[in-house]
Structure 1
Amino acid sequence: MNEHKKIFSKIGFNYLLLALIPIILQIVIINILALWDGTLIKNINVQTIISAVTNYIIILPIFILLMKRIESSDISKERLGIKKFITYICIAMTLMWIGNIIGMIITTIIGNTVANDVVNPIEKLIQNSSIYINLLVISILAPIFEEIFFRKLLIDRTIKYGAKLSILLSALLFALFHGNLSQFFYAFLLGGFFAYIYIKTGNVIYSIICHAIVNLYGSVISTFFNLSIHNLQNGISMANIGDIAVVAFYIISLIIIWCIGLYTIFKNYKNIEFDDENREIYLEKPLRTVFLNPGMILFILYHIVIILMSLNII
C-alpha cells in the first residue's frame, strides 16, 4: 500500500473510531445511570444529552489527537461580504430542501417495497424532545462540532490532494455518518457545500453559522410552525395572531430563501471555481487511492450496515 493510500486508510479508521467510541461510552454511561435510577434512561431528553456529550464533547479531544498524526495544510483565509454570506445561507437551505425531497421519495419507495415505515430519526427526536434540547444540541452543538470534525480537521489534511477530492470526501463521510437514508442525501449536498465554503474562506466559522441556521430552521423554527399549524387546523378560535404570524413568517421566508437559492444555483453552477492553490499532490487514480484501502472500506461497510438496519432490511 503506497503512502497516500495509507493516509486515507488512517482517515477512514479515525472516522470509524469517531462512530464507535461514542457508542461504547453511551453503553457505559447508560448502564451506570440504570443502576442509579432506571427511569432516567427512558427519558428522551436524557438520552439526547448523553448522545451529545459522547458524540461531541468527550470525543473531540480524542479525535483531534488521532487526526494530528496526519500532516495538515493551512488554507488561505478570505472574508465573506454580508451579501454573499446571505446568498450562501439561501443556497444551503435550498440544498437541504432538494436533498430532503430526494430522501423522502427514496425512503418511501423502499418503505413500500419492504412493507415497513422508514422513520427519520431526527424527526422523531425533534417531535419527542424538549425544544430547548433541540436548540442546544441540534442548532448549536451539532453545527460547531460537526464542522470541526468533517470540515476543519478533514479538509486541512486532504486539501493537498485538491479541492474537488476534499469536497467529495467531506460530503460522503458526513452523509454516511448520519447512519440513515432519510438524511443521507441532504447531508451529502450540505456537506459538500459546507466544504466548498470552508475551502473558499479558510474559516470554519462561516460553515458553522450556515449549518446552525439550516438546523435551526429544521428543528426549532419548524417546531413552532407545526404547532401553529396544529392550532389553526383545530379551529380559528383556538388560534391567535401569534400563530398566524409564525406561519406567515415561515412560509414567506422559505419562499424568499428558495427563490434566491435556486436562482443562484442555476445561474452560477457552471461557473463554480475550485481554488486549487493548496494542491500539492496529483493522484493518478484518486478514487482508488481514497476509497480502496482498509480504513475507508471498513468505515463505508460499517455505515452501510447501519443504514440497512435503519431500513429494517437486515
Structure 2
Amino acid sequence: MTETKRTNRFALLFFLYFMAASVGIALMPAVRKMSDSAYMLLAQFLCFLPPVAFYFFYTKKDVKQTLRLKPLGWKNTLLIIFFAVSIQPVMSFLSYLMALFFPNPVEQSIEGIQQSGLIVSMLSVAVIPAILEETFSRGILLSGYQFLGKWKAAFASALLFGLLHMNPQQFPYAFVVGFIFCFLVERTDSLFAGILPHMIINGTTVVAIFTEGAGTGPVEMEQSAILVTLLLMALMSIPWLALLLYLFLKLNPPKAELQLMDESGNIYRERFLTPAIVVIFLLYAAFGLFPYLST
C-alpha cells in the first residue's frame, strides 16, 4: 500500500470517528449542563486525540519528525503574526459572501461564547483548535501526502481541512487559509507556522465577539454595502500581504526536495483520488452540504 493510500484511509477513518464521536458527545446527559465553550473543549479533545494517538501507535512514525516540531525563530514569528492579522479582511469577505447563502455557525454560537467568559472561550475557540486541527491537517496529512509533490500535498491537506468543517459556509476560507498554512509549514519546516496564525485568526474572532457584545452593537448596513466594504478592505490588504510574502520567501528559500524515480526514470508521484477520498466527498455531501440545500 502506498503512503498516500494509507493516509487517505486514515483520513476516512478520522472523518468517520469524528462524526460518530461528535454525535455521541452531544447525546451525553452531562454535556447539557456544560457551557458552550466547555462543551467545545471536551468535544475537541475526544474527537482529535484518540485518532491521532492511534495513528502514531499504528504507524510507529516519529512524532517530532512527522509533525515538524521545530522552532520558528523570531523573524518568522513576527512575519507570520503580521500575515495572520493582514489576511483577515480576505477571510471576512469570503465568510460574509458565503453567509449570504448558508448560515454562519460562528454567529449561531455568539451568545454561548460570551456567556463562557473570555479566557475559556479563547482556549476552546482559538488555542486548542489551532493545536489539534494543525496536528491533523498540517502535521499528519501534509506529511503523509509527501509523495504527491509539495503543491498537490498542500492542496490535498487544505481540501480535507475544509471538508472537515462539514459546513459550506466555512469551506472556502478554510480551504484558502489551509493551503496558505501548508505553504508556511513547508517553507519553515515547522508546524508552529500553522498553529500560530490559526490561533491568532480564531482569537481575533473571539475578541471581536466580546468587544461587540460590550458595545452598542454593530451599525446597521445593507448586505450589498457590507459586501462591497469587505471587498474593498480585502483588496486593500493584498499589497501588504504581497510584501509580507516577499519577505517570508526571502527569509525561507525553497529547500531541496528528495526526488524518487520510478522504473521509467520519471519523478515518482502517487495518486490522491482513491475510494477513501470519494467516500469522504460523499460524507460531506450527505451531512455537510445536503442538509443546507434541503431547507
For residue 36 of structure 1, what is the aligned residue in structure 2?
none
For residue 283 of structure 2, what is the aligned residue in structure 1?
302
For residue 53 of structure 2, what is the aligned residue in structure 1?
64
1:123 corresponds, among 104, 107, 110, to 107
Between 119-128 and 66-75, report the one with greater CA deviation. Answer: 66-75
For residue 242 of structure 1, what is the aligned residue in structure 2?
none
Evaluate the alpha carbon distance shift between residue 159 and residue 9 of structure 1 in structure 2; reply closer, same or farther with a 3 A threshold: closer
For residue 237 of structure 1, what is the aligned residue in structure 2?
none
1:248-267 deviation line (CA, Å, top 9, x unaligned): xxxxxx9x987643543488
CA distance in 1 between partners of 2:154 and 2:176 (Å): 10
Q: TM-score, normalised by structure 2?
A: 0.74
1:91 corresponds, among 53, 58, 83, to 83
Contact 2:162 2:170 in 1 (8 A): yes
Equivalent residues in 2 for 1:206-285 (5 A)?
A: 206-219=193-206, 221-230=207-216, 260-265=240-245, 275=255, 277-278=257-258, 280=260, 282-283=267-268
Runs (4+) of structure 1 exceeding 6 A deviation are: 75-78, 256-259, 266-269
Contact 1:179 1:307 in 2 (8 A): yes
For residue 9 of structure 1, what is the aligned residue in structure 2?
8
The question of 1:144 aligning with 2:131 is answered: yes
For residue 181 of structure 2, what is the aligned residue in structure 1?
194
Evaluate the alpha carbon distance shift between residue 126 and residue 27 of structure 1 in structure 2; reply closer, same or farther with a 3 A threshold: closer
What amino acid is the match of 1:264? L
Aligned sequence identity (%)? 18
Deviation at 1:5, TM superposition (A): 5.8
Contact 1:72 1:156 in 2 (8 A): no
Q: TM-score, normalised by structure 1?
A: 0.70
Q: Which has the larger radius of gyration?
A: 1
For residue 290 of structure 1, what is the aligned residue in structure 2?
272
Aligned Cα root-mean-square deviation (Å) = 3.7
Deviation at 1:215, TM superposition (A): 0.9
Deviation at 1:140, TM superposition (A): 1.4
5+ residue gaps, structure 1, are 34-39, 112-117, 234-253
For residue 226 of structure 2, what is the aligned residue in structure 1?
none
Between 73-82 and 98-107, report the one with greater CA deviation. Answer: 73-82
